[in-house]
Structure 1
Amino acid sequence: MGKKKVTSTDIARAAGVSQSTVSMVLNKKYNVSFSKETVEKVENAAKELGYVPPKRKTKKGARQEKLLVIFCSNLTNPYYVMLLQGIESRAKEQGFGLFVCNTQRDLRMEERYLKMMWELRPLGIIYTCNPSHCFMDLLKELSEKIPVAVINNQNEKMSVDAVELDNSKLGRIMARHLLELGHRKVAYIAPPLTARQKQRSKRVEGFLKVYEQAGLRDQVIIKAAREEFDQDVALIDSEYKIGYDLTRELLQETRDITAIAGLNDMIAFGIMDALHEAKIKVPADMSVMGCDNTLFARMHKVELTTIEHFVIFKGRDACDIIMKKIASHHTQYSETPPISTYHVEYEPKLIVRGTTAYAKGKKKK
C-alpha cells in the first residue's frame, strides 16, 4: 500500500497554524504578510512531513501568454511614458503583452513585485530606472532564469544587460549652452539628490564641472527638493511642483541670476510657470532649459530648450535586448548555453528652442 499523501491540513496541524495560512505560505502569496517565525514553522513542517507540491494542471492546447514585465518608478513624468511607448511598440511587433509594475520609488513595492516574478514567470523583465541596490542580488538571481534589461545610468556597474545613459554628459551640455550665451550666475533645480537616485547627482555634477572649469563654480546655486518628495511622488504633481516651489523660493532669496536649468523638462515647466507668476519674462529676463525632450517641451507657450537623448529609441532597444536573449535561449549551438551582455548608448543632442537667449548685456559675436 502506498504512502499517504501529505496535505496542507497535515502541515497546518503540525505547525499550529490555519490551513489557509499554510496554503498562502506554500504558494508564496506575497500580498499577505506573515512573520518570519510563521513562515519557518510552515516550511519546516512541510519538509519534515515530506510534502510534495501538486503539479499544476494546464488545459490541453492552452498557450502561455507571451509576457514582458516593466518596472517603472514614476508614471507622472512623460519620460517614463515615452520609454513605455518605445517598449510597447517593439513588443507589439513581436506579439508580446506588457505587465507594468509602478514601484513609486517604494522599496517595499519593488521587493513585492520582484518576488512575484518567480510565480509570474514572464519571458523578460525591463527596468526603466536603476534597480535599488538592496535588490541587486535578487535581480541577478532572476536574470539567471529570466532575461533582464535595465535602462540605467552609465556610472552604475551592473552585471545585467543595459541601455545606458551618461547623465554627467547631459549636465555638461546644459552648462556649455548657458555659458556660450553669457550666463555667468545661474541656478540649477533638481529633485532630491539621494544616493539611491545617483543619476540625478550625475547631471548636477556634470553641470557644475563645466562652470568650475570656467572659474565660476561659486556662481551656481543648486536647489534640490527634500527627500520626502520622492516618498510622496504618487500624491503630488511630481517634478513640476518641485520646479514651481523651488523657483518661488529661489526668487525670494535672490534675483541676481540670468538663467535657471531644470534637471528635467517637468521641472523646467514648473520653473517657467513660477517665473510667469512673478512677471519675469522668458527668455528676455531669464533663460530656462530642461532635459529629456518630452512631448510637452514642444507644446508649451514658449517652446523649451532641452536635451534630446532618444528616450523612445531606448525603450525599443531594451525590448530588442530581451528578444535577443529569448532567441539565444531557444537556439542550441552547443551543450553550453550562450552568455552575452549587451550595452547600448546614444549620444545626447542639444535642442535649442525659445526659452534660452543671450544674457542681458551679452551680444552674439
Structure 2
Amino acid sequence: MITIYDIAKKANVSAMTVSRVINNSGKISDATRQRVKQVMEELHYVPNSNARSLVLQKTHIISLLITDITNPFYTTLARGAEDTAKRLGYKLLFGNSDENYAKEKDYVDMILSTRVDGVLFAPTGDGSAAHLQQLQKHNMPLVLLDREVPGIQADTVLGDSKEGARRLVEHLLSLGHRRIALINGSEDVSTARQRHVGYKEALKLNDVPYDEALVLYANYREIQNETALSQLLHLPDPPTAIFAANNFLAIGAIQGLRAQGLQVPDDMSVVCFDDLGLASALNPFLTVAAQPAYQFGSLGMQWLIDRIEGRSQDEPRTIILPSELIVRSSAAKLKS
C-alpha cells in the first residue's frame, strides 16, 4: 500500500509537506504542491479519509434528510444540494423519512452516531421539534428546508406557500368557480397551514364565503381516505374545482375522480402546489404553483457549509423563495 512516506521520497520532500498538501494546510509553494500532487497521481495514492477526519475534526460529509424522495420536488431539491456540496468539496449521506416521525427519529439517531459535519433537514412536521433539539444539543450545524418548526431557531429556506396558494385559488376564481375544495396536508406541517391561509385569503378578497366542509385533510404523500373524497363530491352543493396542496395530493385526487367516472377538467378543475418534473415536460397538464426546488437544495447547502466552515456567525436567517404560477389545461371555465 502506498503511504505518504513513499510520496515524500519520490517527490523529494518531507512527509509533513505531503501531509500539508493532502490537508490543504500550511504554507507551501505552488511548485512544491504541484510536484507532490503529480507524484500522488503517478502512484495512484488515495488519502485515508478516516485518518484525515481525525486530524481535521471534519469528514466533509453532510446528511440530507428529506420527507419523500419519490416526490419530484424533493428529487430536484436533493440534486441541487448534491451539486453544490460536490462543488464545495463535500459528499452527501442521504435519508428519507416518508413523512414518518419514527423513521425520522431513527435517522437523527444515526446522524448523531455518524461523523457528519452538518445536516440539511426537511422536517416531517411540528413533532420534529424534539429531533431538531437533539441535533442542536450536540451543536450540529443545521439548515431547515421547505418547512419551519415552532420553537426551532435555525437557518431556513422556505417557499412562499401562502402567496402561491392565493394565486392558484384566484386563478380558479377567475374561471368562474366559487365552490373550490382544498385537499390539504396535515395541520401540523407549516406549509399546509400557510397554504390553508392563502386559500382562505383568496376567497375573502373575492367575497366568496369560506366553507369548512370543502376542506379535506390528508397525508402529503397521497389521499388515503377515498370515502372522504366521495363525501366531498356528494355534498348538497359540491365543489366544481379542487386545489390540492401538493402534487401527490393532486394525482391522488385525479385518480379518485376518474374512479368515480369524472374527468379533469371537463367535470372538475384541479390545480396544485409543486410541479411534476419530467412528467410535466412529457405531458404538460396540471396547472401548478411551481417552486424553485433546485434552488432550495443549492442555497440550503451553501448556507450550511458557510456555518460549518465558520464563514457565518450571524443570527439564524430565513429566506422565502417565490413560486411561479404555470397555467396549463387541468382547470377550465365553469360551465353555465
Q: Aligning the two structures, in what range does the TM-score lie when normalised by the shorter sequence?
A: 0.7 to 0.9
Aligned to 2:215: 222
Cα deviation for residue 216 of structure 1 reads: 1.8
SS at match of 1:159: coil
The amino acid that maps onto 2:51 is: A
Question: Percent of pairs identical after alignment?
Answer: 23
Aligned to 1:324: 306
Structure 1: gaps (5+ residues) = 1-58, 231-237, 330-336
Asked if the contact 1:186–1:258 (Cα under 8 Å) also holds between the matched residues in 2, the reply is yes
User: In structure 2, which of residues 182, 185, 190 is the aligned counterpart of residue 191 of structure 1?
Assistant: 185
Cα deviation for residue 109 of structure 1 reads: 3.4
- Asked if 1:266 is matched to 2:262, the reply is no
User: In structure 1, which of residues 132, 136, 141 is the aligned counterpart of residue 137 of structure 2?
Assistant: 141
Asked if the contact 2:122–2:147 (Cα under 8 Å) also holds between the matched residues in 1, the reply is no
TM-score w.r.t. structure 2 length?
A: 0.73
Aligned to 2:324: 349
Cα deviation for residue 71 of structure 1 reads: 1.5
Q: Distance in 1 between the 2:51 and 2:135 partners?
A: 29
User: In structure 1, which of residues 189, 193, 210 is the aligned counterpart of residue 202 of structure 2?
Assistant: 210
Segment drifting more, 179-188 vs 76-85: 76-85
Aligned to 1:164: 158
Aligned to 2:81: 87
The amino acid that maps onto 2:207 is: G
Cα deviation for residue 66 of structure 1 reads: 2.0
Segment drifting more, 262-271 vs 241-250: 241-250
Aligned to 2:37: none
Asked if the contact 1:70–1:126 (Cα under 8 Å) also holds between the matched residues in 2, the reply is yes
Asked if the contact 2:129–2:152 (Cα under 8 Å) also holds between the matched residues in 1, the reply is no
TM-score w.r.t. structure 1 length?
A: 0.68
Aligned to 1:181: 175
User: In structure 1, which of residues 250, 273, 277 is the aligned counterpart of residue 259 of structure 2?
Assistant: 277
Q: Distance in 2 between the 1:251 and 1:299 partners?
A: 30
Asked if the contact 2:232–2:239 (Cα under 8 Å) also holds between the matched residues in 1, the reply is no
SS at match of 2:310: helix
Cα deviation for residue 299 of structure 1 reads: 5.3
Asked if the contact 1:153–1:166 (Cα under 8 Å) also holds between the matched residues in 2, the reply is no
Cα RMSD, aligned residues only: 3.0
SS at match of 1:268: helix
Q: Distance in 2 between the 1:299 and 1:249 partners?
A: 33
Aligned to 2:20: none
Q: Distance in 2 between the 1:60 and 1:66 partners?
A: 9
Aligned to 1:109: 103
Asked if the contact 1:297–1:303 (Cα under 8 Å) also holds between the matched residues in 2, the reply is no
1:1-20 matches, within 5 Å, as none
Asked if the contact 1:126–1:318 (Cα under 8 Å) also holds between the matched residues in 2, the reply is yes
The amino acid that maps onto 2:333 is: Y
Structure 2: gaps (5+ residues) = 1-47, 54-58
Q: Distance in 2 between the 1:87 and 1:207 partners?
A: 31
Asked if the contact 1:186–1:219 (Cα under 8 Å) also holds between the matched residues in 2, the reply is no
- Asked if 1:74 is matched to 2:68, the reply is yes
Q: Distance in 2 between the 1:168 and 1:187 partners?
A: 16
